[in-house]
């Protein structure tokens, strides 16, 4: 089992990989329509929106949670130095 380098989601089946390509290191949720990986800002905004929508946090708290999560992921290691 691989984990997405951009969000940490476990990827078990081809449908969970970007473009169904099991050689990609990121998931379908972290890919743009063309199959490339979202930028740091795109992922940060999307993750913040997801946390607000699903967990009821206010925007400031959700952003803090999103950034805390992202700091632990390989795709964003250089973005927080």
Q: What's residue 77's pLDDT? A: 92
Per-residue pLDDT, 9: 96
Residue 2 near residue 21 (C-beta atoms within 8 A) = no
**Confidence tier at 33 by pLDDT (50, 70, 90):** very high
| Mean pLDDT of the chain, nearest integer | 96
d(CA 74, CA 14): 21
Q: How confident is the model at residue 81 (pLDDT cuts 50, 70, 90)?
A: confident
Averaged pLDDT, 26-47: 97
Strands (E), the chain: 2-3, 10-11
Cα separation, 11 vs 8, in Å, equals 9
> What integer pLDDT is reported at residue 72 of this predicted model?
96
Structural domain spans, the chain: 2-80
Of 58, 79, 57, 61, give the one whose Cα is nearest residue 70: 79
CB 3 within 8 A of CB 9: yes
């Amino acid at each position: 089992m691989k984990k997405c380098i951009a969000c940490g989601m476990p990827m078990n089946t081809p449908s969970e990989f970007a473009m169904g390509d099991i050689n990609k290191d990121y998931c379908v949720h972290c890919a743009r329509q063309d199959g490339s990986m979202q930028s740091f800002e795109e992922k940060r905004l999307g993750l913040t929106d997801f946390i607000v929508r699903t967990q009821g946090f206010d925007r400031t708290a959700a952003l803090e949670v999103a950034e805390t999560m992202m700091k632990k992921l390989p795709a964003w290691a250089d973005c927080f130095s």
